[in-house]
Every structure is written in structure tokens, then in C-alpha cells.
Amino acid sequence: MPAQPARNFPPRVDLFRTALSRIQTPVILADREDRIIFANRPAEKLLGRHIVDEPLSALLADPMFDVSTVDTVGAAPQWVRTAMAGVVPATIEALDGEGYLITVRESAAVAHAADRQPADELTGLPRRRELIARLKGALADARRSHARLAVHCLDLDRFKFVNDTLGHPIGDALLKKVVQRIVGACRKDDLVARVGGDEFVILQTEIDGQEAAEALSRRLVDLVSRTYLLDGHTVNIGVSIGIALSDGDATPEALLRQGDLALYQAKSGGRGRFAVFEPSMDSVMQERRQLEIDLRRALALREFELVYQPQFDLAESRPVGFEALLRWNHPRRGRVSPLAFIPLAEETGLITQIGEWVIRTACRQASTWPSGLSVSVNVSAVQFRAGSLVETVVSALAQSGLAPYRLDLEITESALMDDTEAVLATLNRLRGLGVQISMDDFGTGYSSLSYLHKFPFDKLKIDQSFVRGDGAGAGSGAILRAITGIGSSLGMKTTAEGVETEEQLRRIRSEGCTQVQGYLTGRPMPADTISDYLDRHPWDDVTA
Ligand code: C2E
Ligand code: MG
Ligand code: MG
């Protein structure tokens, strides 16, 4: 066989190339200048990288090996150093002085490969290392043949919840069924790898374009979300997918990173969907990463502060407490709103530490107030899941000496949505300590009424949108009335949030709200101005 560069093979030789590509034995061809001119897929898979154009001598394991001696070696066994299987026996044959043919003894290669790189035991799928190796080969193929390929990064939605609630055997059974559906949706040549507990990557080769990739992802989103029957349980999960496309011009790592960025986009877009990578996702991600770095530093550098907004009792016409609201005094960005960083803090889990700081600080500061005043603290759904909330509250109360009934924890419906039973257990333990529990932003979630039935909240905070009547028009009055009605019949207080005008105050009073919190009765203020505020403020004028 002539030792010419792979790209210049005459057409007839392309046929041989194709044939060599198809056989299962790893085959490598080198020219007499020690340059590899061809490696079939099994060879690249075994070596763990694309090797065409590399020196053959670099592959060979024996440091004493000198390529000039190959001619005389003839068919004597040699050893090849591989990424996937360590050193394996190979046969090197000189081809009439024109080049070399290297074949790896397949059984040895496979046996070693199985040792070093076990497939995933549960699903039998290859893992990340094999994926990277295959992706490398596929990218090289795509570059040569001007074909496109796609990687699909999959992350199951709600899998962890199923696993935690129904137990690991059911979780395992579910994963197997999911894998069956994924594999069933792919072509035989596509590679499906399991790269994490509930994360998979599909390598889809030789596609005509983005539509083919989108079609596969669309099919997967549909198939995976169909109901599963497992051991008498019906289970529903979903999948989010990020797609990255390449025509060979990328490294495996870069392509997988793009797939991950697109996956992140799909998840933040509401899960159960796919997104295709776009360069703009990169800059969004960089900003996010910077914000995350800043956020981690902020705790250490004491850049957080709590401001306090008064809550008024309408019947008593006096402030009965303050809500602690988090502020971030950023050295460059200035004062950052919690709405800008709490979602990221929740996603990264940092909210647990920040939230702990909030609870401890609020208890400590409130313990210096007159004893008739309570402090409300916002608690994120993530803090409930973290499992340390009760201990944090116990310790914050003990350290500050604040009476438990003066601490009021505000939770939103999202805290109850995920894992209702576990959250209810936590709420009951907190209630057992004597702490008050309020439902925040009431009316903006999905199924508030069933939660009211399950847990006796002390207070419902009615979302600002109903108080202002934005959007809801004339209906918002009816909603206000309905909520205060539910509150009074269940023995819960109702607080109208966001009251800014006398007119709104008059309205919420006539609808029967028991408390008000808004700019009209007081804006959020720094902790050290509270006593002045209490001394100075003409309460009766404001709420009369
Ligand atoms: P929220 O708990 O519903 O707090 C009420 C928000 O409405 C506060 O915004 C407050 O400043 C604002 N507000 C009060 N009265 C009025 C008014 O009359 N008009 C208008 N336009 N707004 C009013 P803020 O401080 O920006 O906080 C936004 C949200 O961030 C809070 O909503 C809460 O969900 C969250 N948050 C604040 N602090 C914390 C915290 O320490 N932990 C957690 N997890 N979330 C927090
Ligand atoms: Mg709140
Ligand atoms: Mg609220």
C-alpha cells in the first residue's frame, strides 16, 4: 500500500480506507517517515485520541525502540501504549519498505480496556472517558469528511426526588428504563454515555444540520417524560437537554462545555426542554460566574446587611414587627437588590450560608428591640431542603436570647411544592419551638389552598399585585376579600404587602386585612435607625 498522506489517497484507496474503518480490530498505518497516516475507529478508541499525523514512535511503549529498526523487526510482537488500556501487545509489519501496518491484538485490547474503563454497571453504558475518546475520533472524522455532529447533554428533572422518596432500588429501575428509551430513540452508530448519576451525553454523528439534532432532542424530551410504571408506582420525570453542534472544529472538552451551557439554559428556561448552544450563552455564563465569585466573597467580607421594614397592625394602629430584608453592599456595583442575587445563591447552594447569617443577625438585632416587636425572616425553599434549618434556628435563638414567638419565618409556596412531606415535618418542628410561620407572596403560586389545609400558618402575606390591583383589574378587590376571608376563618392574620397610598390603605382596611407593610407605613431602614423611628413616628396619624 502506498505511503501517501491520507488526504491524497486516490478514490479507489478510499474504498480500502472505508473497509479498514469498519473492521473491529484496531488498525494503524504509518509511512516510512514515522508518521501515522491512518487509524481506524477501534484504534483511536483504544488510544483515547486522534493520532493521524503523530509520529509512530511516540506510540510505541519501549523507550529503546528506534523506528529505523522496524524493517528488521518484521512481524515480531511489539507493545503499544494506549490511553484506554495501558500497554497492549501489537504487531508491527513493514510494508515493503513503504510504511508500517500496526494491528493490536483485539482480545488483549478489549480485556485491558474492560479492566481500566468499566462500563457503568447499572446501565451498561460507557462513561466519560470513553465518551471523550470517541468524541475525539468523531471530531476528526467530521473534519475530514466535512460532516457535522452533535452532542446532547441530558440531565433528568426530578430524578433525585424520585430516588429520595421511593428509594434507590426504584431509582435504579427507573434509570434503566430511561436508558432504554434514550437508546431506543438513537441510531445504532450514536453513542450514549452515562456521565453522572442522572446525566447522560449522546454523541450523534453524521447529521445534516441542526434540524436533525433538534429532532432527536425533541423526541427524547417527549419519550423520557412519559409515565413509568415501577413496582406498582407510577412515576413521572422529565429531561432537560443542551445541544452543541460542530463540524469538527472543536475539542471534545469545548463541545461538552457548550452542551452544558445550553443545558443550563434549557433548565433555567423551565426544564423539560432543549436548547441549542449559542455564543451569547458564554458571556451570560461568565457574568454569572463572576457574580458567584463575588457572592462567595461577600459573606467573608461582611458585605451583607439587613434593613428592616415595619409591619403595622391595623386594629392596634402600631408597628408590631419588622421584616428583615437582605442588602448586598457591593464595592463596585453598589447596593444590589436581593432579587438580583438570591436566585443564583439558591442555585449554587450558597443561600444556606447566607440564610444562616440572616437568621442569626436578625435574631441578634431584634433582641435589642422592645419586647412587643417581632422580626420576620425570609427563608428560601433551598434552606428547607438543606436539612440544617431547625438547628440554625435553635442556635440563633439561644445565642441571641430572643423569645421564639418573636421570630417569624416567611416561606413561599415554592418551598412546599417540591417535597411537601419533608417540608411539613420541618415546619412542624419549627412550630414546636414556638416560632411563627407565615406564607409570603400568597396568591402568586399554584395551589396555595391545599397547603393552607396542611399547615396552620400564623399569617398570610398578600402579594403586592393584589394590593395595587395591577393586571387583575377589578378582580383584585374580590381576591383580597377572598384571602382575608380565608385568613379570618382559619384564624390566620393577613398582611397586605406593598401599600403605597392612602387609597390602597383604605381599600385593604375595608377588605378586612389585619396588617399592612408598605412604603406608606415605612420603607426598609438600617438597623441602627429603628429606635429613632420608633421614638419619633406618629403612628396614629398614618393609620387612622
Ligand atoms: P418579600 O419577602 O415579598 O419582601 C417584600 C419586598 O417588597 C421587599 O423588596 C420590599 O422592599 C418591597 N416593598 C415593601 N413595601 C413596598 C411598597 O410599598 N412598594 C414597593 N414597590 N415595594 C415594596 P426587597 O427588599 O427588594 O426584597 C425582594 C424579595 O427578596 C423579598 O420579597 C424576598 O422574597 C427576597 N428576600 C429579601 N431578603 C431575603 C432574605 O434574607 N432571604 C431570602 N431567602 N429572600 C430574601
Ligand atoms: Mg417576605
Ligand atoms: Mg412578599
Q: How confident is the model at residue 72 (pLDDT cuts 50, 70, 90)?
A: very low
Average confidence (pLDDT) over 327-337? 91
Q: How confident is the model at residue 75 (pLDDT cuts 50, 70, 90)?
A: very low
Q: How confident is the model at residue 487 (pLDDT cuts 50, 70, 90)?
A: very high
C-alpha of residue 434 to centroid of ligand 3, in Å? 22
Residue 214 Cβ contacting ligand 1 at under 6 Å: no
Least trusted range by pLDDT, from 184-188, 413-417, 530-534 = 413-417
Dmax of the chain from CA atoms?
107
Q: Which atom of ligand 1 is nearest to the CA of 524?
A: 11
Residue 310 Cβ contacting ligand 1 at under 6 Å: no
Residue 356 Cβ contacting ligand 1 at under 6 Å: no
Report which protein residue has its CA nearest ligand 1's atom 25: 325
* Mutation choice for ligand 1 from 299, 325, 515, CB with most ligand atoms inside 8 A: 325
Residue 518 Cβ contacting ligand 1 at under 6 Å: yes
E strands present in 314-412: 318-330, 334-336, 374-378, 407-411
pLDDT of residue 496: 95
Q: How confident is the model at residue 189 (pLDDT cuts 50, 70, 90)?
A: confident
Residue 441 Cβ contacting ligand 1 at under 6 Å: yes
d(Cα 190, Cα 196) in Å, to the nearest integer?
19
C-alpha of residue 471 to centroid of ligand 2, in Å? 21
**Residue that is written with C-alpha cell 435504579 in the block:** 172
Residues 6+ apart with CB under 8 A from 480: 462, 466, 467, 496, 507, 508, 511, 513
Average confidence (pLDDT) over 421-429? 90
Please give the residue that has the higher pLDDT: either 509 or 385. 509
**Terminal Cα-to-Cα distance of the chain (whole angstroms):** 100
pLDDT of residue 540: 43
Q: Which atom of ligand 1 is nearest to the CA of 339?
A: 30
Residues 6+ apart with CB under 8 A from 518: 464, 467, 496, 497, 498, 499, 500, 504, 505
User: What single-letter amino acid sits at 447?
Assistant: S
d(Cα 151, Cα 441) in Å, to the nearest integer?
41
pLDDT of residue 172: 93
Residue 521 Cβ contacting ligand 1 at under 6 Å: no
- The single-letter DSSP state of residue 401 is T
> pLDDT tens digit string along 226-284?
999 998 889 999 999 999 999 888 889 999 999 999 999 999 888 899 999 998 898 88
pLDDT of residue 115: 42
d(Cα 471, Cα 273) in Å, to the nearest integer?
29
Residue 342 Cβ contacting ligand 1 at under 6 Å: yes
Least trusted range by pLDDT, from 13-17, 41-45, 112-116, 505-509 = 112-116
pLDDT of residue 359: 98
Q: Report residue 382 as a C-alpha cell.
A: 433551598
pLDDT of residue 113: 47
Backbone angles phi, psi at 335, to 5 degrees: -80, 115
What percentage of the chain carries pLDDT values higher than 70? 87
> pLDDT tens digit string along 82-133?
555 555 667 777 787 788 888 876 544 454 444 445 678 888 899 988 899 8
Helices 475-490/502-510 angle, 10° precision: 50
Please give the residue that has the higher pLDDT: either 146 or 473. 146
pLDDT of residue 111: 43
Q: Which atom of ligand 1 is nearest to the CA of 383?
A: 44
Ligand nearest to the CA of 467: 1
Average confidence (pLDDT) over 12-31? 82
Q: Which atom of ligand 1 is nearest to the CA of 500?
A: 18
Report which protein residue has its CA nearest ligand 1's atom 13: 498
Question: Exposure string (b/e) for 2-39, b if CB count within 10 Å is 16 or more?
Answer: ebeebeebeeeeeeeeeebeeeeebbbbbbbebbbbbb
pLDDT of residue 99: 84
> Domains of the chain by range and CATH?
11-111 (3.30.450.20), 118-285 (3.30.70.270), 302-461+519-536 (3.20.20.450)
Report which protein residue has its CA nearest ligand 1's atom 17: 498
pLDDT of residue 10: 62
Q: How confident is the model at residue 479 (pLDDT cuts 50, 70, 90)?
A: confident
| DSSP H or E segment with residue 148 | strand 148-157
Report which protein residue has its CA nearest ligand 1's atom 9: 325
Average confidence (pLDDT) over 533-541? 66
CB 442 within 8 A of CB 483: yes
Question: Of 325, 370, 406, which Cα lies nearest the Cα of 533?
Answer: 370
**Most confident segment among 205-209, 227-231, 304-308:** 304-308
Average confidence (pLDDT) over 443-451? 71
Q: How confident is the model at residue 195 (pLDDT cuts 50, 70, 90)?
A: very high
| Neighbouring C-beta atoms of residue 249, cutoff 10 Å | 10
**Residue that is written with C-alpha cell 416567611 in the block:** 410
> pLDDT tens digit string along 509-521?
999 999 999 999 9
Average confidence (pLDDT) over 469-475? 59
Q: Which burial class, exposed, middle or buried, applies to 542 when counting CB atoms under 10 A from its CB (0-12, 13-18, 19+)?
A: middle
Residue 358 Cβ contacting ligand 1 at under 6 Å: yes
CB 521 within 8 A of CB 501: no
Residue 524 Cβ contacting ligand 1 at under 6 Å: yes
Average pLDDT over the chain, rounded to an integer: 85
Give 51-104 as a DSSP string.
-TTSBGGGTBS-TT--GGGHHHHTT-EEEEEETTTEEEEEEEEEETTTEEEEEE
What percentage of the chain carries pLDDT values higher than 90? 49
Measured at the CA of 33, the angle between CA 247 and CA 96, to 5 degrees, comes to 110
Residue 78 Cβ contacting ligand 1 at under 6 Å: no
pLDDT of residue 448: 63
Q: How confident is the model at residue 159 (pLDDT cuts 50, 70, 90)?
A: very high
Q: Which burial class, exposed, middle or buried, applies to 231 when counting CB atoms under 10 A from its CB (0-12, 13-18, 19+)?
A: exposed
pLDDT of residue 79: 59
d(Cα 293, Cα 303) in Å, to the nearest integer?
13
Q: Report residue 481 as a C-alpha cell.
A: 376579600
Report which protein residue has its CA nearest ligand 1's atom 3: 441
Please give the residue that has the higher pLDDT: either 450 or 255. 255
Residue 325 Cβ contacting ligand 1 at under 6 Å: yes
Please give the residue that has the higher pLDDT: either 370 or 114. 370
Name residue 106's beta-bridge partners: none
